[in-house]
Structure 1
Amino acid sequence: MDDTADTADTADTKSGTESSPQAAGISRRRLIGTAGATGVALGAVGAGAGYAAASSNSPEQQATLTSVGTDEVMFHGKHQPGITTAMQARGHLVAFDLAAGAGRKEAAALLRRWSATAERLMAGEPSASDDTDVARDAGPSSLTVTFGFGHSFFSRTGLEKQRPAALDPLPDFYSDHLDKARSNGDLWVQIGANDPLVAFHALRAIQKDTGGAAKLRWQMNGFNRSPGATAHPMTVRNLMGQVDGTGNPKPADADFNKRIFVPGSGSGSDSGSAQSPAWMGGGSYAVVRRIRMLLDDWEKLSTAAQEHVIGRKKSSGAPLTGGKETTEPDLEKTDANGDLVIPLNAHARITRPDQNGGSALLRRPFSYHDGYDEDGAPDAGLLFICWQADPLRGFVPVQRKLDRGDALSKFIRHEASGLFAVPGGAEKGGYVGQALLEG
């Protein structure tokens, strides 16, 4: 809900297209190409685009999948998937704690299993063993699986000396009403896909892969707009009805990598320092917050009042000072009465990077709805996920400023929190976190 907000709902995938009968037999891998910095690949086409279609003789299952089903994200790369990947329609966030007696050896074996499973599922293939068939009829559907380590992971595995200073616990904030049982954790997994069954299939496979090495700590489910639901790609809306994501940094920005990713070794950076250890090269830090929206109170406001809280037009996301969604707000503009058009406590003003010492967050959240309270109030809001090279320079200063006077604060409540070190991507034949666990 910050103006450094959610990633615009623009396609950073390249969809597959319907194939001719002659093209149906072409190898899937020959048709895949990497799509820029996101690591998203050109969707496969033909009967090979989805393991069920490849193994079934039924004409229905041999039919070409739609572009949503064929979109594929590469597992291996400099960065893990699910960070710069375009917004996905369905998401699961899950945290685990290592089991009693499990340590570095067991953690390494678990990450090796998880990485192998993620690679297969993201390619639209079944699990290596005991697959549930939940995703049998679908292709990859832009599935991503992302892994991270919490602060407690390092003491559990005897790797305290490798724990980054950037992973120090977040400070307390005035708006916090945190449930410790649904916060933090030794290990964190983010799953996203554009098909709910594909996402659930991955969630179930990851859970089964834990075996006796780890136990579930908490799990949360989220959603976004489905691809193709609008006439053209556009920024998503949150459950308050607000266009949410206009100010997100873009991979094309000159300083994007510096703000979002930890520099790799050999880049002339301090990646080997206590702040950014070498094993975090190419990685990022994820702040995860379950932010409940007090929708009954919010919806009592008029549209004009809501717009003054945010500082943008509800219909288009344009700043109240005029223009379109991407127009820079004129923070000094006043109305006929001499009052600021965008109030001093407007959310869009407070969260602008130039109002926060240049702090920038790459936000890729999911909305959630977990039913209703006894009084009928919806338990709904945002599963906030933001990425940055250093949370002490990214999330923390922005949240502190929001705490001091954001007009939106009275309509939201932070109910769970986590901070995770997300290492760089795995090399082919390797697994996520290998440099830490085997270094």
Structure 2
Amino acid sequence: MADQSIPEARTPATPRDGETPLNGETAPHGETPLHGETALNGGVRESSSHKEGISRRRLLGTAGATGLVLGAAGGAVGYAARPAEATPLSSLGADQVMFHGKHQPGILQGLQARGHLIAFDLAAGAGRKEAAALLRRWSETARRLMAGEPAQQDDTDVARDAGPSSLTITFGFGHSFFARTGLEKQRPVALDPLPDFSSDQLDKARSNGDLWVQIGAHDALVAFHALRAIQKDAGQAAKVRWQMNGFNRSPGATAHPMTARNLMGQMDGTRNPKPTDADFAERVFVPESGSKDPAWMANGSYAVVRRIRMLLDDWEQLSVKEQEDVIGRRKSDGAPLSGGTETTEMDLEKTDKAGNLVVPLNAHARITRPDQNGGAAMLRRPFSYHDGIDADGVPDAGLLFICWQADPLRGFVTVQRKLDRGDALSKFIRHEASGLFAVPGGAAEGEYVGQRLLEG
């Protein structure tokens, strides 16, 4: 849970005349919302009610006297008697992320309100041929669903009447995939298994996998619809190894865009690298040339996935001051304990009247700073999770930690090793599942994800 953050997802679609933006907010001066970025991934199509070629899922309304309408706040759908007319979707539902592009979707976009992570193992006897057919099916399903269209076959209608809702579907390959498909020579060195860490209590059944899929959307039904379609597409070629569900704050829930909070109530991830940083692409994506990675990983990235349980009963017994000392930042606004605002540079040398460091030596935010780790940085896109309460009343809740980097050894491993040596937060968390996946670059028009690996 490094001190790095991606801004919360925005809904940048332009409101109609006389209409207030659904989330009541605009991006801070000079800042472009990430999910509206197009320069890096060719990424987002901002939909409006007058756009031509809108799909059947991008408009609501019927020819009868009673129509299904969407409230102005974009929150609830209900039946109301009104003249038959085509009622446009809110910007929240209409926002679309493009499937084809330089990078796969689901990396550069902001945090999404709902997420599913699912890993598969290839079925016995399935190899490279079956894997290629599966990725071809999955890619076509992802393209269609992200455009707000139904699945090509046996659509379940779960997301009927909904728009794309910023749906993203991302695919990756685990270490074991390459032996199963006879592609060991194409396995990246960076995909070597992660080392053991002191906070690990890993469940092997919920870790790793041949194939990994990340699904995110701003609507829970749209996200579930995609999860079900991906599972059905697997057919006899692959079986589910594990699956996890997560959530984030919904766009527009706060008065203005701000760093998300985790289930500990802390702002989580203030120092995330930004696309405007000069070295952003170098830290996050595999370059097209001059890399030790195989050519099929060009413009791709490596995803580290960790299910981190938060020991909330222990954490909540601490005073706010004690919690702030653990993190190194104020709980109220995320500002460093050394003073200023959330974005103020932390003064690691500042002391109080007694001569004690204001930011403790073992504070999480101090330890995870890139300048304390040889410049190591990760782009984080996590989800919170809650999987119920046990017989003793203890919540099974925490963070589905997902971070992206060009080299996991220089990114996640470097920072986690430092945390292992004395992070004050470590006594309040437990790493219970883990995975590392090679996520190739985006598919060009007419291609499927991983084609350059599987047909190269």
CA spacing shift, 1:195–1:16, aligned 2, 3 Å: farther
User: 1:309-351: per-residue Cα shift (whole Å, max 9, x none)?
Assistant: 0000000000001100000000000000000000000000000
Tell me how far apart the structure 1 counterparts of residues 344 and 9 of structure 2 sit (CA, whole Å): 18
Tell me how far apart the structure 1 counterparts of residues 230 and 347 of structure 2 sit (CA, whole Å): 47
Is 2:177 the counterpart of 1:153? yes
Q: Conserved in 1, the CA contact under 8 Å of 2:112 and 2:250? A: yes
Corresponding residue number in structure 1 for 2:15: 17
Tell me how far apart the structure 2 counterparts of residues 243 and 341 of structure 1 sit (CA, whole Å): 19
- The alignment partner of 2:59 has SS state of helix
- The alignment partner of 1:382 has SS state of strand
Corresponding residue number in structure 1 for 2:108: 84
The one-letter amino acid of 1:415's match is E
Corresponding residue number in structure 2 for 1:169: 193
Tell me how far apart the structure 2 counterparts of residues 14 and 36 of structure 1 sit (CA, whole Å): 16
- The alignment partner of 2:309 has SS state of strand
Picking from 380, 396, 404, the partner of 2:397 is: 380
Corresponding residue number in structure 2 for 1:51: 57
- The alignment partner of 1:367 has SS state of strand
Corresponding residue number in structure 1 for 2:278: 254
How does the TM-score come out when normalised to structure 1?
Answer: 0.92
Is 2:441 the counterpart of 1:424? yes
User: 1:349-408: per-residue Cα shift (whole Å, max 9, x none)?
Assistant: 000000000000000000000001221110000000000000011000100010110000
User: 1:279-319: per-residue Cα shift (whole Å, max 9, x none)?
Assistant: 00000000000000000000000000000000000000000
Corresponding residue number in structure 1 for 2:417: 400
Tell me how far apart the structure 1 counterparts of residues 184 and 63 of structure 2 sit (CA, whole Å): 54
Tell me how far apart the structure 2 counterparts of residues 301 and 65 of structure 1 sit (CA, whole Å): 45
Picking from 404, 409, 428, the partner of 2:426 is: 409
Q: Conserved in 1, the CA contact under 8 Å of 2:173 and 2:438? A: yes
Q: Conserved in 2, the CA contact under 8 Å of 1:178 and 1:417? A: yes
The one-letter amino acid of 2:339's match is G
Picking from 211, 216, 221, the partner of 2:240 is: 216
Tell me how far apart the structure 2 counterparts of residues 406 and 164 of structure 1 sit (CA, whole Å): 31
- The alignment partner of 1:201 has SS state of helix
The one-letter amino acid of 1:193's match is A
Corresponding residue number in structure 2 for 1:229: 253
The one-letter amino acid of 2:223's match is A
Is 2:44 the counterpart of 1:40? yes
- The alignment partner of 1:394 has SS state of helix
- The alignment partner of 1:393 has SS state of helix
Picking from 349, 353, 371, the partner of 1:336 is: 353
Q: Conserved in 2, the CA contact under 8 Å of 1:95 and 1:218? A: yes
Instruction: Using the TM superposition, give the Cα deviation of residue 40 of structure 1 relative to its aligned residue in structure 2, in angstroms.
Output: 1.9
Is 2:117 the counterpart of 1:117? no
* Count of residue pairs the alignment pairs up: 418
The one-letter amino acid of 1:283's match is G
Q: Conserved in 2, the CA contact under 8 Å of 1:6 and 1:365? A: no
Q: Which moved more, 1:40-49 or 1:338-347?
A: 40-49
Corresponding residue number in structure 2 for 1:6: 5
Instruction: Using the TM superposition, give the Cα deviation of residue 49 of structure 1 relative to its aligned residue in structure 2, in angstroms.
Output: 5.7
Is 2:293 the counterpart of 1:287? no
Alignment of 1:298-317 (within 5 A): 298-317=315-334
Tell me how far apart the structure 2 counterparts of residues 283 and 162 of structure 1 sit (CA, whole Å): 14
The one-letter amino acid of 2:6's match is T
Tell me how far apart the structure 1 counterparts of residues 191 and 333 of structure 2 sit (CA, whole Å): 37
Tell me how far apart the structure 1 counterparts of residues 277 and 56 of structure 2 sit (CA, whole Å): 35
Tell me how far apart the structure 2 counterparts of residues 370 and 364 of structure 1 sit (CA, whole Å): 19
Unaligned runs of 5+ in 1: 21-32
Alignment of 1:58-207 (within 5 A): 58=64, 59-60=67-68, 62-207=86-231
Picking from 441, 447, 450, the partner of 1:433 is: 450
- The alignment partner of 1:120 has SS state of helix
Instruction: Using the TM superposition, give the Cα deviation of residue 226 of structure 1 relative to its aligned residue in structure 2, in angstroms.
Output: 0.1
CA spacing shift, 1:436–1:75, aligned 2, 3 Å: same
Instruction: Using the TM superposition, give the Cα deviation of residue 60 of structure 1 relative to its aligned residue in structure 2, in angstroms.
Output: 3.5
Instruction: Using the TM superposition, give the Cα deviation of residue 54 of structure 1 relative to its aligned residue in structure 2, in angstroms.
Output: 6.9
The one-letter amino acid of 1:37's match is L
Tell me how far apart the structure 1 counterparts of residues 264 and 175 of structure 2 sit (CA, whole Å): 33
CA spacing shift, 1:253–1:132, aligned 2, 3 Å: same
Q: Which moved more, 1:101-110 or 1:38-47?
A: 38-47
Tell me how far apart the structure 2 counterparts of residues 216 and 311 of structure 1 sit (CA, whole Å): 40
